[in-house]
Chain A
Amino acid sequence: MDGILPYIECFAALVALYLILGRGGRMTKVLGILGGFAALAWMYVMAGTEIIGGEGVGREVLFLIFGAIAISAAVRMITHSRPVYSAINFVFVVLSSAGLFLLLEAEFMAFALVIVYAGAVLITYMFVLMLAQQASSPDKITEVPEYDRVAREPAAAVTVGFIFLSTIFGAVYQGIPSMPPPAGEIERNMVRAEVLQGLPKQLKSEVEKIDPSFQWPPDIDGNKNMVHADATGIFVLGTTEAGKHQPVRLPESAGPRNTQFVGWDLVARFPASLELAGVILLLAMFGAVILARRQIEHGEDELREAVGLTRIHDWDDDPAVTEEGSSA
């Protein structure tokens, strides 16, 4: 019985979603929203009790808030009949995701997300939406088209969604307890030491900030390591006032910072992928330009003539035109 509870949760959540999506009245939708929240709450509690076995449940308020905003905005996004509002709801999703990224110590990603998604991509969507909205029915501007009002086969969609969600839940519920333990302090500090060693200038200034008497360069061990890590933090060894081979402990604030981590990984570990990403973007730009370019049906030559340029069409076909052009 316990085994199928997560799937019942999934089912309840998606029934709620169905009610919201469906063609019922306002009351149904309210019911759906309430049911959906109830299901989510159940999931949350279940996640705590089922997976870790009733151990203390961390009430991360921010996670709850951001998660709730993300989910409700997402639901609203797919249920709203006006695409513009959908897009705005998607911005909420993006923003709350950015908040979650902050919680996950991914500051760079959080702001990149806001800038790229909310700032650039979504604006593009908005433009296209406006363009379409404007052209679709000029006389009935407030009328929402039927295909936006009525969902297409929500039952089938929700069925597939149920299967998918069950899969994900099944994977999470079964997979999480058997995962390797999370990175401990030593591993964290080793990563920090490794990256910081790649940033000698920062390292020097930080070390000198802490202990101005530190005589640069620090000691280098057999593995050519300058920065060392242990369970409590990272340190360098070197000659200080106190004598030779004195450790200088570097605090958390000494870095490297999140942006530096990401930059280090991006450039040091995935340079080829980085290049590929650039090529993809370039090609996407070309593609978009070529696809969206309006075919010029008429008048280009006239426009050219108007600004005093030679015609580009019918150059060889019409001798009269050619004569005219040459005389001009």
Chain B
Amino acid sequence: MILLASAFGQLALAHYLLLSGVLFVIGLVGFLSRRNLIVMFLCTELMFQAAAIAFVAVGRYYYDFSGQVFVIFILTVAAAEAALALALVVLLFRRKPTLNAEDWRDLSE
């Protein structure tokens, strides 16, 4: 709190935003390249995480707490998504014991 209290300028913001971008892209690449349904959902959580960092950083830059409030909503959505997604995974897994996303192609039909 004390450390960066008065020196949060554009440079610091840029660092946070770039970090958030890297995390987001790692999440995206993971989502695209992993085949395990649960890991894919974890990757979406990672992307949420990256977005949350960006929100908080920009909110800090403008000294506007809406950024943090928005992170609360992100947490809400992430939690809801996790609940529903995992329930769906359980449902699917019960039908066919695999977590491979490619095994569920027939869902598109």
Contact = CB atoms under 8 A, between A and B. Distances in A.
Interface of A: 13-14, 17, 21, 40, 43-44, 47-48, 51-52, 55, 57-58, 60, 62-63, 67, 70-71, 74-75, 77-78, 83, 86-87, 90, 93-94, 97, 100-109, 112-113, 116-117, 120-121, 124-125, 128-129, 131-132, 135-136, 145, 147-148, 150-154, 156-158, 160-161, 164-165, 168-169, 172, 176-177, 179, 181-183, 185, 187-188, 191, 261-262, 264-266, 269-270, 273, 277, 280-281, 283-285, 287-289, 291-292, 294
B97 A262 contact: no
Q: Is the interface of B mostly helix, strand, loop or mixed?
A: helix
Contacts of B43: 77-78
Q: Is the interface of A mostly helix, strand, loop or mixed?
A: helix
Interface in B59-89: 59-66, 68-69, 71-73, 75-84, 86-89
B90 to A, nearest CB: 5
B68 A265 contact: yes
B91 interface: yes
B83 to A, nearest CB: 4
A162 to B, nearest CB: 8
Contact of A168 (B1, B21, B45): B21
A57 B15 CA distance: 11
Given A161-B32, A182-B13, A262-B69, 11 more contacts: A51-B10, A109-B56, A147-B35, A152-B102, A153-B33, A161-B26, A169-B18, A191-B63, A191-B65, A270-B69, A291-B90
A182 B62 contact: yes
A54 to B, nearest CB: 11
A67 B19 contact: yes
B30 A77 contact: yes
Contacts of B63: 182-183, 187-188, 191
B40 to A, nearest CB: 10
B68 A71 contact: no
Interface residues of B, number: 82
Interface of B: 1, 3-19, 21-30, 32-36, 38-39, 41-43, 45-46, 49, 52-53, 56-57, 59-66, 68-69, 71-73, 75-84, 86-91, 93-94, 97-102
A157 B32 contact: yes
Contacts of B14: 47, 51, 172, 176
A51 B38 CA distance: 39
A177 B101 CA distance: 43
A129 B60 CA distance: 36
A77 B42 contact: yes
Contact of B42 (A86, A109, A120, A165): A86
